Structure 1
Amino acid sequence: MSSDAGRTPRQLVQQTNVSASISWASTTLLSLTALVWAVTGHRWLSYSQYWWSTTIFTSIAILYIIVIHIPIILRNQGHAHHSLHTPIVESILKHSPVALAVISPSGKFIEVNESSSQLLGYERDELVGRSFLPLIASDNRQDYFQRFQKDLLTYPQDASINVIHRTGYRFGINIITAPLTVRGESIGAIVFSHDISDHNRNIERIRYMAYYDDMTGLPNRRLFMMQFTERLTSKSERDNRIAIIYLDLDRFKLINASFGREFGDMLLMQVAERLTRNLTDQDVAARMDGDEFAIMYGDAGGELELLGKVKELLISLEEPFELQGFPLHVTASIGIAWNKLKNDDASLLMKKAEMALAKVKESGKNNCLLYSDTWENSSLERLKLQHDLKQALSKGEFVLHYQPQYNLCNGNMVGVEALIRWQHPERGLVPPNQFIPLAEESGMIVQIGDWVLQEACRQNKAWQDEGLTSIPVSVNLSIRQFLQQNLTDKVSQILKDTGLQAKYLDLEITESMTMDIERASRCLLELTSLGVNISMDDFGTGYSSFNYLKSLPIGRLKIDRSFVRDIEQEAGDAAIVAAIISMGHNLNLQVIAEGVENEAQMQFLKKHHCDEIQGYFWSPPVRGQQIAEMLQGVWKH
């Protein structure tokens, strides 16, 4: 039997209207879902993004049914009492995933669905008949109620408010409201709500990520420059001496490469803590990029006061960092600039601080330097030099000089160290301290280092082919060379190409290269398996200890020139040199002192049984032909 039997034509029309409304809503929802897919450019959204996008469109569709169609149905059915409890409304209230409520003109809940109850933490019966005003987390509830009566009952609204959950905590919701009328009479408003506390937290998170460094919690470059600019342009701060320092950790890339990024990240967090330890409310510290930090001193004072602050900062960084039980010694280089001129802006002062930092790096690191206006021309010269450096290798402008190494007992030459020089066509002989830092910055240091290794081996074989005494040639390895996976293969190929026996090649590494003791030991064992010798250069200035030396296949220690230089005046340096010689011999290592420049230094080293010396007292670095003459015994120094 047909379900339409016994119904009047009017009832059938009403049923048709209802069915049409539901059919329209279903079609609309499908279309709107497709629209969300199209609008987002066929991208998969996160669940929350997709949910809220479809919720808005779903709300519009439901609003259409309730606001447009339900009043029509109610009017046609003659519901003068404005009952909302029709099967259609009850179905929408029950099954809608959106928190939905109907509020009377007086501000009381007429109806709520299960989603609304869950959102607010109340049962339906606890909300129906209750005013919504106490649930609003605001001191201006009455103002909001007046706005509700004036606007929300008349026009559709979209707003965000904070409400109070039954348990007492506050959270944000987004509401979409539409007036609900029957026969021209307002019966309230229908309200769709959505918890946006996660959304707000995401916004705050995005805002935080835009202006703060996630690892250290310090302001990032963007926020720092904004605050720096604001401070410089502030009338109240205009007369203060505002200074900026730009700090870079020395050898941080080596730490990362040796121990891994996690180890490096732990170091950066501890550095950030030390940098902020003694700052005032007027100062701002920031992580600019990688291992680079900046500090703005809001009231820098005089030059001596400023330099004193920075020196204290350097001293604080020299204290060992404890990382996973491993004591790590770190140094830093700092460039300083301040607002001497009224028209100095943040970007200009930052460039000056960076230029000062570059000067420190060139001059040996682990220091600080205040920017000088006289550097403008030298900065341009630096750029020109960097440009010329890129072509120097292909043009054959590099040459090697060799500094002899002598046995202290018999005075015989027992080796030479290969030292690169740049024969510039216009500038003449450019010393290494001017172009090696540029080569490291540009990445050319590996190519240049490979050339030095090849040329030194070729020259040594040439001396031997002339019938001269066979001696080893020492070649310095750069950090980047040492970290190459194919270093052993390169050395092996160069020895093969030049015909030089491996025992006549001595590779010099620095202490900093041995921080990752396992990797360093593995690499050095591969090299010594070829037959080459390994020396530890600049010993006493870096990270190594004698315990580590026991596990490394090293045959010789080179005492750093900074200790040798002052052994006559500094009792501490003299004691260090004597201790290195003694302990080196206890480990069956040869010991050579570099930087020997006078008779007194030589006699001290001889007294303490240093094996070999190298320095200007016996010979400066000279060309290959002069080394040949020395080996023949015809060259006089």
Structure 2
Amino acid sequence: MEMLLFVQLLEIATVLVLILVLTMLQRFGGIKYIYNLRIAFIGYFILIVLTMLNLFEEQVVFNSLFKYALLATISVYIYVSFSVGSNKLIHLARFYWMIGILILTPMTLIILEKTDQLEGIGYILLGIVSIFVGFFWMNKVLSHLIPSKIVGVTFILFGLHIMSFIIVQYDEEFLILGYMVVAAFEAIITISLVFLNFNYLKELDDITYSKYINLFNNSSDAILLISNEIIFDCNRRAEEIFERSREDIIGRNPMDISELVQDNGRESYDYGTELFSSASEGKITRFDWIHTSANGRRINCEISLFLLEEGEFAAVIRDMTANYAYEEEINFHKYYDAVTHLPKRELFIDRLARFLDERHNQVALIAFNIDNFKEINDEYGHEAGDELLRQVANKVTSVFKSEVTLTRLGGDEFVAIMDKLIHINRIYLPLERIQSVFNDNFEIQGQQVNLSVCMGVAFPESETTQPMELLKNSDLALNLAKSKGRGRIEFYSKKEKEIFIARINIERDIRIGIESGEFIPYYQPIIQPHSGKIVGIEVLARWIKQDGSMIYPNTFIPIAEETELIKIIGEQILSKACDDFRELLKDNKDFVIHINLSPLQLKDDSIITTLRDVMEKYEITARHLFIELTETVFIDDADHANEILKGIRAMGVGVALDDFGTGYSSLSYLVKMQVDTIKIDRSFVVKLPGDQKSRAMMEYIIGLMHDLGYKVVVEGVEEKDQADYLKSIGCDAIQGYYYHRPMSIEKIRKLLMS
């Protein structure tokens, strides 16, 4: 009996040690199932104590039932704790089934009066569960480690022994042996768990260190480990970013590989000390920093600095140089012109506003552009044009150095701010500087090109003048200069502004008039002087607005030609005139229509195609059509003009030279010009027939034209004696108010029918 008590105490001691080991391993180890075992063995310890004390020996039923309930509870707990990975529904079904069996079993045995077997059944249940835990531990919990397998095998043996021990529990000698074996099993489990946890932690430490090294060396960010502000380790990425070897980085103060002064204006050593102080409080400190590479290259960095332990820090450094460079490029293109690298309008206006606020009486704007830049672009190409713009920007900037702000508003238009004028009269000095740039030739694709420039100048009208208003005024002055020819300089004035605004309004109305069909042909008859018969008409453009008012040609034609809208107007008038006379011409084979074409239309090679298309559309034969042009078409390129006229005449369309004697033609042109008829300007008619010189000039011109094979039409005849005189000297046809004024299609139809 004493021996039995001793071995029971031995098992209690063993289980206590096991519980202590499990508690230590659960707290400091990493195996989650140790916690479950600790709870189970605490329950088992209580059971052993109760068995040893045998508190309820006199109450057999209660004693057996109580121990059965405790063993069953321990078994269910262990089973549930280690039944991982099961489907939840199946797991619950098995759990409740097991509970049901455990409740029904004692009830059945009590009914059958076999309550003394309850304790044995409980131990058998614990044995079965122990075997289950053993197999689970061998297969699931760190199964690759030998101590884990020993734990599993021991649990299996422990379970088998408990089951066999219960079968012969009434044999005292075997009972003593059983307690000793169980204690031995528990000791083996304890020792194995200690070794298992040691191996597990060692393996975990090895794995963690290996992962740390891989992470450290393969990080896309540079990592510096710093102790007392001295670098004691770094990763490969740090070597790449700083362009230094690991040996060259280690041992340095981080400030040694930094700019002396950071972008915020702080000295690196002072600012760095402050950042280390902040990080030493345990905060992760993030900031921008400028490091330098071995060759002095600036490295824009984003740094996260954090405390590892007292006096030791880790700095995670991300190289943002490419990002910053991209952002700078984006910002540069936002505010600076891509071609010339001059400020764009937004930045320019901002500076102009500042100058106006500070010293408006010293400010002036000079707007300038290159004469005929479009032609240069067309001839040499856009790349050459961009290169020319860069040359202009560089040369103008160089003559002013930093004295002015220059911008390119678009195309070839530049504007310079003069912000330090002592007096407005001093504006001629910067104007001369700009002009000096264009006195020298520019090189385009290896060729020397001479350029000229037009300039417009505007001063603030008052201290309240706004930047956009001043810019608009300089642009008005520039446009005025361009309208007066090449190389002109004009100053803004209110009068010129009014004229320019009126011109803009006319241009706008012309565009509206084209869309709404306000441009219509008027017709002035051409008379054969001997018979008095109408042999043709001249088509004249008239602009009748929707309100019924008429705008005369001398008002809109110059603006239409400047804007090249004259081409559209000319085509509309041509089509309308041919449509108006389509039926009238069928019964009159000798009747001709004189259509005025502008120099712009005749420079366009497509005019021949346009004429042919219109004649086909309205069924007009070539002999009924005459094209009138002025001498200005021969000024720029007489050969090209004659080629166009030759093509027109080849179709059978006649050509008349209008306003002869008022243009720039020399007599040598008369031999070369591809024309059929000469129309003498009214300026030769005004003093006829009384003025002897006028008569001599008229007789000479008509005689010369006839000798050259041209027919002659005299315009501007307003008096009977003028008509009679021209008839007497052999004029072929007469046109003027004496016979008829220009009229609408309705009136000309009535006239022709009468």
TM-score normalised over the length of structure 2: 0.53
Give the superposition deviation at 1:289: 1.7
CA distance in 1, matches of 2:538, 2:452: 28
C-alpha deviations, 1:292-328, integer Å up to 9, x for none?
2212233557666646865885796587755336676
- Equivalent residues, number: 507
Is the helix fraction higher in 1 or 2?
2
The whole-number CA distance in structure 2 between the counterparts of 1:231 and 1:561 is 54
Amino acid at match of 2:226: I
2:460 matches 1:339: yes
Which of 237, 240, 245 is matched with 1:123 structurally? 245
CA–CA distance in 1 between the matches of 2:679 and 2:394? 39
- The yes-or-no answer on 1:192 pairing with 2:316 is yes
Query: 2:219 maps to what in 1?
Result: 96
Correspondence for 2:417: 296
C-alpha distance after superposition, 1:265-301 (max 9, x if no partner): 3443344356546436433321102232212233557
Give 1:431's match in structure 2, choosing from 539, 549, 553.
553
Q: CA deviation at 1:173?
A: 2.1
Residues 287, 304 of structure 2: 8 Å contact kept: yes
Tell me the equivalent position of 1:229.
Answer: 353
Could you say which residue in structure 2 is the equivalent of 1:53? none
* Partner-residue secondary structure (3-state), 2:316: strand
1:146 aligns with 2:266: no
Q: Residue 189 and residue 238 in structure 1: after superposition, are their counterparts in 2 closer, same or farther (change >3 A)?
A: same
C-alpha contact (below 8 Å) 2:642/2:674 kept by paired residues: no
Deviation at 1:250, TM superposition (A): 5.5
- Distance change in 2, residues 1:125/1:272 (3 Å): closer
CA distance in 1, matches of 2:388, 2:711: 37
Render the CA deviation track for 1:307-351: whole Å, top value 9, x for unaligned. 686588579658775533667676655433211322212111112
Q: Distance in 2 between matches of 1:158 and 1:388?
A: 63
Provide the rounded CA distance (Å) in 1 between the counterparts of 2:313 and 2:498: 73
Whole-Å Cα distance in 2 between the matches of residues 258 and 274 of structure 1?
23
Alignment partner of 2:621 out of 488, 497, 501: 501
More strand by share: 1
Mark the runs of 5 or more structure 2 residues left unpaired by the alignment.
Answer: 1-21, 34-199, 262-266, 527-533, 650-654, 685-692, 740-754
Q: Which residue of the other structure, out of 612, 630, 634, is the alignment partner of 1:539?
A: 634
Go from structure 1 to structure 2 and tell me whether the alpha carbon gap of 1:263 and 1:389 turns closer, same or farther (over 3 Å shift).
Answer: same
Shift of 1:195: 2.0
* Residue of structure 2 equivalent to 1:159: 287
Shift of the 545–445 alpha-carbon distance from structure 1 to 2, 3 Å rule, reads closer
Please list, as runs of the form range in 1=range in 2, the aligned pairs for 1:451-600 lying within 5 A after superposition. Answer: 451-457=572-578, 466=588, 468=590, 470=592, 473-476=595-598, 478=600, 482=604, 490-502=610-622, 537-540=632-635, 542=636, 544=637, 578=666, 582=668, 597=683
The answer (yes or no) to whether the contact 2:678–2:713 under 8 Å persists in 1 is: no
Any gaps of 5 or more consecutive residues in structure 1?
1-6, 18-75, 406-412, 510-534, 566-572
Amino acid of the structure 1 residue aligned with 2:552: V
Identity fraction in percent: 19
- Give the 5 Å matches for 1:73-84: none
Deviation, structure 1 residue 429: 3.1
SS at match of 1:268: helix
Q: State how far apart, in whole Å, the 2-side matches of 1:309 and 1:615 are.
A: 55
- Mapped to 2, the partners of 1:594 and 1:248 lie a distance apart of 40
Q: CA RMSD in A?
A: 5.6
Q: Rg: which structure is higher?
A: 2
* 8 Å Cα contact 1:157-1:177 kept in structure 2: yes
- Show CA shifts across 1:136-164 (max 9, x none): 22153431342243113332122222223
SS in 2 for 1:214: coil
Which residue pairs with 1:243 in the alignment? 364
Measured in 1, the distance between the counterparts of 2:672 and 2:384 equals 33
Q: 1:334 & 1:223 partners in 2: Cα distance? A: 22
TM superposition shift of 1:113: 0.9
1:336, 1:353 within 8 Å by CA — same for their partners in 2? yes
8 Å CA contact 1:288, 1:294 repeated in 2: yes
Residue equivalent to 2:112: none
With over 3 angstroms needed to count, the CA separation of the structure-2 counterparts of 1:595 and 1:497, relative to structure 1, is same
User: 1:285 is matched with which residue: 406, 409, 417?
Assistant: 406
Query: What CA distance in whole angstroms lies between the structure 1 residues aligned with 2:365 and 2:520?
Result: 41
Q: Which residue does the alignment assign to 1:169?
A: 297
Change over 3 Å in CA distance of 1:614–1:123 after alignment to 2: farther
Change over 3 Å in CA distance of 1:445–1:473 after alignment to 2: closer
Structure 2 partner of 1:86: 209
Which amino acid is 2:559 matched to?
P
Question: What secondary structure sits across from 2:342 in the alignment?
Answer: coil
The offset of 1:422, in angstroms, is 2.2
**Which residue of structure 1 lines up, in the alignment, with residue 342 of structure 2?**
218
Task: Report the AA paired with residue 147 of structure 1.
Answer: E
SS of residue matched to 1:86: helix
- For residues 241-390 of structure 1, the aligned pairs below 5 Å read 242-249=363-370, 252=373, 256=377, 260-273=381-394, 275-276=396-397, 278-279=399-400, 281-299=402-420, 306=427, 310=431, 322-324=443-445, 333-360=454-481, 367-374=488-495, 381=502, 385-386=506-507, 388-390=509-511
Query: Post-superposition shift, 1:545?
Result: 8.3
State how far apart, in whole Å, the 1-side matches of 2:298 and 2:592 are: 85
| Counterparts of 1:620 and 1:257, CA distance in 2 | 45
Contact in 2 for aligned 1:213/1:287 (Cα 8 Å): yes
User: Would you say the 8 A contact 1:475–1:506 is kept in 2?
Assistant: no
